[in-house]
């Protein structure tokens, strides 16, 4: 366990070394935030709500979604880059789990972004917009738990996509398609409240809604205690199920890599 903590700490400290890059990323997130805010404020045309959906709820949705997106951003090329330069053969000889290292380094990066990116952006949003506060202490606690489970879903998807690099020379196209699905179907760009009921029902059957939209619903108090527990369970099932698929590809990929190396 100490080895994985060391990897996470190394990533955390490594991010803090590039201060200019960190500052630019904060400004980029703030710029996205204000662009979305002005777009939706214009679309609402001064009205407080449209079809029962308040501007405050929409603002809260994209603030939290953008914030969580800036924190939970797995490195989609962690494995592909090592396969491309051949260093994966050395990595597999280390006395630590490569997958455990992936999780540790992504966690270190997420912690850094949480402290130095999400909190500043959230503070600015609270001071400049009418975003909602948590519906209550219970909702805030469950929001944190659900957000972590949402990261689990997001990481599992990234992990599984990365495993295809054992068979493909370049996974850029797959990664791009994956990111488009996440941006559109997770509710971060377009709140799922605005989608037609049939499309919304179809999206609910995918893992994407579990990444950001579920935590936002919990934060706003739109789910009962029972529904919250069910949604969190669904997030956990998606995380374990998708990771299991990625794990199968990982084992098959290692055998393929050994054959190529021979």
Task: Supply φ then ψ for residue 79, to 5 degrees.
Answer: -80, -50
pLDDT for 258 beyond 70: no
Which of 78, 91, 105, 114 is closest to 11 using CA atoms? Answer: 105
- Dist. CA 16–CA 189, nearest whole Å: 29
Q: Given a cut of 50, is residue 260 above it in pLDDT?
A: no
| Helix (H/G/I), strand (E/B), else coil: 50 | strand
Range from 39-48, 76-85, 247-256 carrying the lowest mean pLDDT? 39-48
pLDDT exceeds cutoff 60 at 148:
yes
- Separation of alpha carbons 70 and 35, rounded Å: 16
* Residue, of 78 and 13, whose pLDDT is higher: 78
**What angle in degrees, to the nearest 10, is found between the helix axes of 137-163 and 78-85?**
20
pLDDT at 45: 84
Grade residue 169 by pLDDT with cuts at 50, 70 and 90. confident
Look at residue 22 in the predicted model and tell me its pLDDT. 76
The per-residue pLDDT of the chain, averaged, comes to: 89
Helix (H), strand (E) at residue 37: helix 19-44
> Which pLDDT tens digit goes with each residue over 208-231?
999 999 999 999 999 999 999 999
Per-residue confidence (pLDDT) for residue 44, from 0 to 100: 85
């Amino acid at each position: 366990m100490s080895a994985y903590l060391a990897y996470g700490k190394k990533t955390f400290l490594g991010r803090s070394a590039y201060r200019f890059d960190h500052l630019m990323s904060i400004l980029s997130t703030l710029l996205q935030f204000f662009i979305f805010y002005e777009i939706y404020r214009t679309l609402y045309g001064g009205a407080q709500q449209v079809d029962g959906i308040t501007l405050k709820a929409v603002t809260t949705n994209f603030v939290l979604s953008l914030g969580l997106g800036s924190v939970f951003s797995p490195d989609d090329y962690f494995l592909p880059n090592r396969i491309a330069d051949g260093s994966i053969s050395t990595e597999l000889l280390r006395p630590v789990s490569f997958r455990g290292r992936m999780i540790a380094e992504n966690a270190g990066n997420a912690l850094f972004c949480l402290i130095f990116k999400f909190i500043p952006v959230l503070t600015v949003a609270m001071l400049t917009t009418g975003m909602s506060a948590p519906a209550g202490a219970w909702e805030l606690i469950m929001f944190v738990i659900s957000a972590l489970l949402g990261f689990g879903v997001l990481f599992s998807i990234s992990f599984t996509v990365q495993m295809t690099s054992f068979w493909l020379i370049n996974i850029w196209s797959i990664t791009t398609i994956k990111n488009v699905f996440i941006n559109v179907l997770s509710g971060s760009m377009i709140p799922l409240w605005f989608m037609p009921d049939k499309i919304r029902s179809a999206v609910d059957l995918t893992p994407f809604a579990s990444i950001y939209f579920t935590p936002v619903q919990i934060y706003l108090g739109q789910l009962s205690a029972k529904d919250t527990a069910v949604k969190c369970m669904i997030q956990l099932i998606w995380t374990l199920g998708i990771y299991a698929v990625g794990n199968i590809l990982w084992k098959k990929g290692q055998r393929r890599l050994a054959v190529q190396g021979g």
